[in-house]
Structure formats: C-alpha cells, structure tokens
Copies of this chain bind each other. A is one copy, B any other.
C-alpha cells in the first residue's frame, strides 16, 4: 500500500508487475540487474516481459523512485532511491552491500573553487573482498 500510494502520486497506474518489482527492490538491500529482477518475478509466478522491466526502470528513474547504478561489468543495476549511500562490491563473488555511513568527507566546495565545476552528485564505490571471500 506504500507503493500503491507512491505510484498514484506519480500518476502511474498500479499494475501487478510494478507492485512486485518495487517490493522486490525494497526487500533486497542491494541493487539488482534486469536479469535478477526477471528471475525473481518468474520465481514468484508473476508474468512479465524483459522489455517491460526495462520500461518500468526507465519510468521509475524518471520519477525519482529508483536509482540506476553502474559498476564495472557493463550493465546497469537498480535500487530504491533513498538516503545517499555507497557500495561495497566484492571482486571475488560479486556480492554487493550498501553502506549507509558517510565514511568519507568529500570536499565539494574545494572542488568547486579549484576547478570551477559545479557538483550535483557523486558516485563512490569500494571494490575488494567481502568477509566470506576474505576467509577462503
């Protein structure tokens, strides 16, 4: 009902596929790619075409409901737009964890003054080994 409301607020129609995808993304705390979303939908017996998922993502990103993120493997992932955060990407197993702490102090003012560049946003990802892979 949370999402039903959000969809209506954005003048979008409430469909089973849309509800399912939004709930899916919300449950997972890591960005999902199109294939992963499709697999989950299929597992839940919710019929939905690949193209529809692409179109949903486009719509949701436009409306600011979902954020498109981009790691190093040539495809996009999507996550619910929320509080700004960063990611820990395991180079071994590919698992992705969100970290919600600042953990960094980006001096946007300094960049602005030094390079005359007006920053609107930034991306920061950490690559390395997750706990399980480090212990192998």
Among candidates B74, B104, B108, B134, residue contacting A76 with C-beta atoms closer than 8 Å? B74
Contacting chain B: which of A15-23, A33-41, A49-57, A114-122?
A114-122
CA distance A117 to B120 in the complex (A): 28
Contacting chain B: which of A1-9, A24-32, A125-133?
A125-133
CA distance A104 to B104 in the complex (A): 7
Chain copies in the assembled complex: 2
B-side contacts of A123, CB under 8 Å: 72, 123-125, 127
What distance in Å separates the Cβ of A115 from its nearest Cβ neighbour in chain B? 6
Interface of A is mostly: strand
What distance in Å separates the Cβ of A19 from its nearest Cβ neighbour in chain B? 27
Residues of A within 8 A of B (CB): 68, 70-72, 74-76, 88, 90-91, 97, 99, 101, 103-108, 110-111, 114-131, 134
